[in-house]
Amino acid sequence: METIVLEPGLRAWLEQDAAQDVRSLNDLVNEAVARYLRERQQTKLDREIVAYEAMHPRLLQEHLGEWVAIHHQKLIDHDNDCAALYRRVRARYNRTSVLIRQVTPDPIEEVWAHTPTTGRPRR
């Protein structure tokens, strides 16, 4: 296993920040790396969504109602069964972000989020 060596100035900065938060340097670095990886995955998914929307006219003709998997802006797999597609994608790409979306007439997926009530009546 490779040892990761931080630049001295960066290490001092992190040690100071960890001490202020009463946390270990190890915890701080792990949290920062995890956040970095999540952001990279989200950036990749954003690119895959743009690619899906560009491919949508063709996908609509060939795969309406099916689930499709988009990776590196290319269609890599499709299936009528979302769970089966998901299992194949995970087996092949492990933790890599791959967009899986059902092909519907509207290329933009509508997402509804329930938010907690404020307790005030709606007007």
pLDDT tens string 10-46: 989 988 988 998 889 889 999 999 999 999 999 999 9
Q: What is the structure's pLDDT at 106?
A: 87
User: What is the structure's pLDDT at 115?
Assistant: 63
Residue 86 pLDDT exceeds 80: yes
DSSP state of 64: T
C-alpha span between 75 and 89 (Å, rounded): 12
Q: What integer best gives the mean pLDDT of the chain?
A: 90
Q: Is the pLDDT of residue 109 over 60?
A: yes
Predicted TM-score (pTM) of this structure: 0.77
pLDDT at 39: 96
DSSP strand pairing (99-102 vs 67-71): antiparallel
